[in-house]
Structure 1
Amino acid sequence: MYKIMLVDPNQYSREKMKKMLDYKQCGFDLQDYAESQGSALDLVKKQPYELIIINMTQLNQEGLQVCENIRKESSIPIILIGGSKNFQLARKALSLRVSDYLPDPVEPDEFKTCLFTIKQDIEDYAITHRKSKLAKRTIHSNKSTTNIIEKVKTYVEEEISENITLKKISDILNYNCSYLGQKFKFQEKMTFNEYLLQQRMEKAKLLLDNTNMKIYEIANEVGYSELDWFYKKFKAYTGVSASEYRKLSV
């Protein structure tokens, strides 16, 4: 149920408003009453209402003042109800972003339609707000994931000649190793070990193409202390041995 506060200084008209229709059938609960501008503002600051109804029959210009002061605190929907038809009043109400203005005589069916419309607006806003928050969380999450994966890749680039493991990197970055591995695979479309092998082999190819370094020196430069293991990995990656690759690139 969406909570309503009624601003009305007259007890008789408050009771009349209460009995006008079944508020709960419309999804609302006429919960609190305020007899003055001051008490209305106090309640708005203390309670999370979804709708304010201001009875204009006796309040007149004071009712607009109540509305104006509420607007300084909240964008909550407001209905002005009762009173005479007054173009200037309606114009002022429009500037205060009043949801509806129902002058006398107020018909129950008209009032009910107004409440259903506001209920739909409240629910539409809530859905939009939730989607917006979800989108922001998703964007933030994606940015966070991208940032952490970039840190992993930077570490690989800078420490390529060292003994690199995802466990070591996850400890440095204070991340769960399994979680980091899953995030890396999701973003890069390959496992961390596949990426590490790719980076080592591509750097080895670059050094074979552009330097006179010995093959064992290149193996050390890309993180392999055992030359035989480097030979095996390089041939599996390129289809040829490191020495054959160098000859082909000349």
Structure 2
Amino acid sequence: MYKILFVDLHHHWDAKSQDFFNWNNLGFILEDYTNESDSALSLLKSKCYSLLIIDIVKCPEQGITLCKHVRAISPVPIILISDSTDFQLARKAMQYQVSDYLPAPVSSEDMRICLQLMNRKLNEEKAENKKASFDIADDLEESVIDKVKEYVTESLGQNITLKEISSTLHFNYSYLGQKFKYHENMTFNAYLLQQRMEKAKQLLEKTEMKVYEIANEVGYYEMDWFYKKFKLYTGVSANEYRKMKMVTA
């Protein structure tokens, strides 16, 4: 439900019987009612409303002044109820971004149409804001994943754990692991193994480094473990891989 603050500067409506219109049917609820400008501004500062309706019948200047003060603290949509046909008044209302201007006395049909349009607009803004939030979240996630990958590249020869990276980046360990798998279609450990093995293959092909030196370069200090991981990854031993690449070079 979208919350309404109803400001009756005209002192026309009965605060205890605001049932001339069924607000709920159009997704609104009459959250608060006041007939004082200062009270309205205090409520806007302390609470969150989706819509502000101001009755300025018989007091147009006071109503426009209230709109001015409202705009200084809130972008909330404003609907004015007025019996004035003063063009200058309408211009001032537009200056303060009044969303609609209902002629008094207001019929339930006029109010219904007005609120239908306002509900549609609020729903559209809500959807846009939600989409924007998701886009921002996605960008932030991609940025963090890029930082994880950069960390792996720069620290490939060291003992790397996602827990350590999570702490460095101030992210929850489990959350980061889930997001990494979502973005890269593989777990962090699988990615780390891939990067180490691809680096090892590159060094075997393009350098004359000894196998144990290559193992250390990619973060393995136990040769048996490196041999096992390399053979599982490529299907051949490190020495066999180097010989194969020398033959095909």
2:162 to 156, 159, 170: 170
The one-letter code sitting in structure 1 at the alignment partner of 2:96 is L
Q: Which has the larger radius of gyration?
A: 1
Q: Describe the shift of the 1:79–1:185 C-alpha distance in structure 2 as closer, same or farther (beyond 3 A).
A: closer
Match of 2:180 in 1: 183
Aligned-partner Cα distance in 2 for 1:241–1:2: 67
After superposition, the C-alpha distances for 1:175-217 in whole angstroms (9 at most, x for unaligned) are 6599659837953866432331121011111114xxxxxxxx5
User: Matched residues, percent identical?
Assistant: 23
Q: 1:205 maps to which residue?
A: 205
Aligned partner of residue 236 in structure 2, secondary structure: helix
3-state DSSP of counterpart to 1:48: coil
Q: Which residue of 2 aligns with 1:220?
A: 212
Provide the residue aligned with 1:50 in structure 2. 50
TM-aligned CA distance change 1:184 to 1:201, over 3 Å: farther
1:132 is the counterpart of 2:129? no
> Over aligned residues, Cα RMSD in angstroms?
3.4
Long gaps (5+) in structure 1: 209-216
User: CA offset at residue 221 of structure 1?
Assistant: 2.0
Contact 1:54 1:81 in 2 (8 A): yes
What amino acid does structure 2 have at the position aligned with 1:56? I
CA distance change for structure 1 residues 93 and 238 in 2, over 3 Å: closer, same or farther? same
CA distance in 2, matches of 1:88, 1:194: 71
Matched residue of 2:215: which SS? coil
1:84, 1:56 → 2: CA distance? Answer: 9
Q: Deviations over 1:61-108 (max 9, x none)?
A: 110000110011111111111222121111111111101011234332
What is the TM-score of this pair, normalised by structure 1?
A: 0.77
Cα distance change on mapping 1:202 and 1:48 into 2, 3 Å: same
Q: Flag the structure with higher helix content.
A: 1
Deviation at 1:43, TM superposition (A): 1.4
Contact 1:4–1:31 (CA<8 Å) still a contact in 2?
yes
1:110 equivalent in structure 2:
110
CA distance in 2, matches of 1:137, 1:102: 40
Which residue of 2 is the match for residue 14 of structure 1? 13
Q: Within 5 Å, which residues of 2 pair with 1:28-177?
A: 28-156=28-156, 159=157, 168-174=160-166, 176=173
Amino acid of the residue matched to residue 22 of structure 2?
D
State the one-letter code of the partner of 1:47: K
